[in-house]
C-alpha cells in the first residue's frame, strides 16, 4: 500500500486541536487546512511524512512571502531554528565514533581560545558534551534572538562572552553541572566551539561533511540558505514580515540550519537506520541508542527530546516555527515547518491529523494520575471520553490535545505536556517543570 496523506483537511477542536482519542470515530469532522492556516495567520506550511518502506511524502501549502504571494513548494527552505541542535548532535556523535571526541571528557580539555567558567568567582566547572547536549550542564542563555540582516553580528567568542555586538548574555555555568535540566542554547554554542577547535574546520563546512552530505540533505546548510530565492520569509504574529525577511544567527549549532521538511525527514530516517543497525548508517547502533536514551533524568537524550517512544525537537526563530518527530521503533515520523511566529499551533494540528491518518496513536500507555510539580502544587490527569483532561489547582479541568509528536498541548495556554514513564513534564514560556506520579492515583472530581 502506498503512503497517502490528505492534508487538504485537518481535524479541529475547541478553538484549536482535536481531543486525543483512541477511538478515531469520536473525532469531530475535519475542516479545510486553508481555513486553519488563515485562523492562525500562518502564510506557509511545508510537511514531510516518513513511513516504513515508503518514499518520503511531502506537501506544501500557502505562500513563502505573504506580500509577494510566492508559493511554498517542496524546495522552499525554512529556518529550522532549534532543530539545528539535534542535527549538530549527530555531528558530535560522528566525531565520537571517530575517536576525536569523548562524550564524558571535560570540554575545557578541547578548548584553546576560550574556557567554560562559572558565573562568579574563580571556580572552573567541569562540563561534558553529554551534559551540554542533554541540557544538564548548568549553562546559561536559553536562546538567541538573532540579528537583522545587514547589521553588525558578533563572532562566536563574542557570543560566548556576551561582548558587543552580541545581544545575548555571557554563557556561564551558574548551577551544579549534571544536577538538573535547563534548556540552554548557550551550551550548544560551546559545543560549536569544541567542534571547530578539535577539527580546525568552520562549523558549516564540518556539518556539511559529517551529516548533511552523508544523509543527502542537498537543500540544507548552516548559516545561510542554499538558495535565497527559495527561502520562506519569516512573519510575525498578525502577519507582518520580519524586517529584512529573516534574522541571521551566528550561533550556528544552536539555531542556524536552513532546510526543508524533506531533508529533515532524511534525518528521521537516518537516525532510525542507525537504531536498526543498518549497513552504512551514519552512526554505530550503540551511539544511536545513546542519543535517544534520556540522560540524567532530563527527558533529553543526546540532542533529542525523548518521550513516549519518540525522538523529537521543536524550533522557534524570529518568524518561524517547526517540529520534527520520529519513532524510536516502527520507522515512522513527520516534519512540519512554517514561516510564522504562530506556526506552533498549526503544526500541532497537522501532526495530530497525520498521526490519526497513519494510526500512530495506538498503544499509548495510560497517563492518568496525580503529579506533584511541587509539594504544594499537584496536577491531576484523567482519561475521559477517549481523551486526556488536566486539572490545575484552583482551576476547572480542561482537555489536553495530542500534538502528533508524542506529546500534548493546551493550546489556549501555550502549554506543552509530555509523559516520560512516571514523570509529567510541563513546558511553557521557555521554562520546564517536572513532576512524578504520586502513589494512590487520582481522578478528577
Whole-angstrom distance, CA of residue 269 vs CA of residue 215: 9
Q: What is the pLDDT of residue 291?
A: 96
Asked if 330 contacts 308 with a C-beta cutoff of 8 angstroms, the reply is no
Yes or no: is domain 42-341 CATH 3.40.47.10?
no
∠ CA 404-409-411, rounded to 5°: 120
Yes or no: is domain 369-437 CATH 2.20.130.10?
no
In 70-146 the beta strands, taken as DSSP E runs, fall at 78-79
Among 232, 240, 137, 254, which Cα is nearest to 185's?
254
Pseudo-torsion of CA 186, 263, 67, 12, nearest 10°? -90
Pair type for strands 369-374 and 377-384: antiparallel
Number of other CB atoms surrounding residue 404 within 10 Å: 29
Whole-angstrom distance, CA of residue 258 vs CA of residue 76: 10
DSSP 71-83: BP-TT-BEE-GGG
Asked if 328 contacts 126 with a C-beta cutoff of 8 angstroms, the reply is no
Asked if 302 contacts 321 with a C-beta cutoff of 8 angstroms, the reply is no
- Report the DSSP beta bridge partners of residue 444: none
Residue intervals of the chain classified under CATH 3.40.710.10 are: 42-341
Whole-angstrom distance, CA of residue 425 vs CA of residue 417: 6
3-state secondary structure of 374: strand
∠ CA 294-300-305, rounded to 5°: 120
Per-residue pLDDT of the chain (445 residues; tens, 9 = 90+): 456 667 777 755 433 333 333 333 344 566 889 999 999 999 999 999 999 878 889 999 999 999 999 999 999 999 999 999 999 999 999 999 999 999 999 999 999 999 999 999 889 999 999 999 999 999 999 999 999 999 999 999 999 999 999 999 999 999 999 998 899 999 999 999 999 999 999 999 999 999 999 999 999 999 999 999 999 999 999 999 999 999 999 999 999 999 999 999 999 999 999 999 999 999 999 999 999 998 876 679 999 998 878 899 999 999 999 999 999 988 999 999 999 999 998 998 898 888 877 877 543 456 778 898 888 889 998 876 556 788 888 888 888 876 656 678 775 677 888 887 678 888 877 677 888 888 644 333 2
Whole-angstrom distance, CA of residue 428 vs CA of residue 400: 14
Asked if 400 contacts 424 with a C-beta cutoff of 8 angstroms, the reply is no
pTM: 0.82
Residue intervals of the chain classified under CATH 2.40.128.50 are: 369-437
Whether cis (ω within 30° of 0) applies to the bond prior to 165 is yes
Pair type for strands 398-402 and 147-148: unpaired
Whole-angstrom distance, CA of residue 129 vs CA of residue 108: 10
Whole-angstrom distance, CA of residue 373 vs CA of residue 375: 7
The Cβ-side half-sphere exposure at 148, using a 13 Å CA radius, reads 6
Distances in whole angstroms, Cα of residue 174 to Cα of each of 116, 127, 434: 11, 12, 20
DSSP 319-341: TEEEEEEEESSSS-EEEEEESST
Query: Helices 185-199 and 84-97 meet at what angle, rounded to 10?
Result: 40
Among 64, 67, 94, which Cα is nearest to 77's?
64
DSSP 378-400: EEEEEEETTEEEEE-TTS--EEE
- Report the DSSP beta bridge partners of residue 382: 389
Asked if 116 contacts 186 with a C-beta cutoff of 8 angstroms, the reply is no
Amino acid at each position: 500500500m502506498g503512503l497517502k496523506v490528505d492534508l487538504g483537511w485537518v481535524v479541529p477542536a475547541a478553538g484549536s486541536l482535536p481531543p486525543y482519542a483512541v477511538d478515531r470515530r469520536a473525532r469531530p469532522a475535519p475542516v479545510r487546512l486553508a481555513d486553519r492556516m488563515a485562523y492562525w495567520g500562518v502564510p506557509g506550511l511545508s510537511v514531510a511524512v516518513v513511513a516504513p518502506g515508503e518514499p518520503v511524502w511531502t506537501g506544501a501549502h500557502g505562500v513563502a512571502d505573504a506580500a509577494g504571494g510566492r508559493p511554498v513548494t517542496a524546495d522552499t527552505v525554512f529556518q529550522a531554528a532549534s532543530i539545528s541542535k539535534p542535527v549538530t548532535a549527530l555531528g558530535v556523535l560522528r566525531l565520537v565514533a571517530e575517536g576525536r571526541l569523548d562524550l564524558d571528557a571535560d570540554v575545557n580539555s578541547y578548548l584553546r581560545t576560550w574556557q567554560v567558567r562559572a558565573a562568579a568567582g574563580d571556580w572552573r566547572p567541569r562540563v561534558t558534551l553529554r551534559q551540554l547536549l542533554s541540557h544538564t550542564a548548568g549553562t546559561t542563555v536559553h536562546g538567541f534572538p538573532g540579528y537583522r540582516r545587514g547589521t553588525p553580528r558578533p563572532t562566536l567568542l563574542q557570543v560566548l562572552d556576551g561582548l558587543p555586538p552580541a545581544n545575548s548574555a555571557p554563557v556561564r555555568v551558574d548551577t551544579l553541572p549534571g544536577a538538573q535540566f535547563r534548556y540552554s542554547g548557550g551550551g550548544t554554542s560551546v559545543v560549536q566551539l569544541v567542534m571547530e577547535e578539535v577539527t580546525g574546520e568552520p562549523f558549516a563546512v564540518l556539518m556539511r561533511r559529517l551529516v548533511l552530505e552523508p544523509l543527502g540533505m542537498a537543500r540544507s546548510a548552516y548559516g545561510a540558505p542554499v538558495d535565497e530565492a527559495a527561502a520562506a520569509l519569516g512573519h510575525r504574529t498578525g502577519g507582518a514580515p520580519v524586517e529584512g525577511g529573516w534574522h541571521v544567527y551566528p550561533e550556528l549549532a544552536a539555531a542556524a540550519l536552513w532546510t526543508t521538511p524533506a531533508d529533515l525527514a532524511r534525518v528521521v530516517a537516518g537516525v532510525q537506520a542507525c537504531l536498526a543497525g543498518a549497513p552504512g548508517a551514519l552512526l554505530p547502533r550503540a551511539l544511536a541508542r545513546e542519543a535517544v536514551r534520556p540522560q540524567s533524568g532530563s527527558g533529553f537524550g543526546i540532542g533529542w527530546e525523548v518521550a513516549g517512544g519518540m525522538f523529537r525537537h521543536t524550533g522557534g526563530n524570529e518568524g518561524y516555527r517547526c517540529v520534527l518527530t520520529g519513532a524510536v521503533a516502527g520507522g515512522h515520523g513527520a516534519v512540519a515547518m512554517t514561516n510564522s511566529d504562530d506556526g506552533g499551533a498549526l503544526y500541532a494540528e497537522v501532526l495530530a491529523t497525520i498521526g490519526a491518518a497513519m494510526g500512530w496513536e495506538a498503544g499509548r500507555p495510560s497517563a492518568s494520575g496525580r503529579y506533584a510539580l511541587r509539594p504544594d502544587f499537584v496536577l491531576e490527569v484523567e482519561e475521559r471520553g477517549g481523551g486526556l483532561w488536566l486539572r490545575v489547582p484552583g482551576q476547572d479541568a480542561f482537555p489536553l490535545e495530542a500534538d502528533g509528536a508524542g506529546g500534548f498541548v493546551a493550546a489556549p495556554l501555550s502549554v506543552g505536556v509530555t509523559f516520560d514513564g512516571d514523570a509529567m513534564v510541563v513546558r511553557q514560556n521557555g521554562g520546564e517543570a517536572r513532576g512524578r506520579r504520586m502513589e494512590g492515583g487520582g481522578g478528577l472530581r
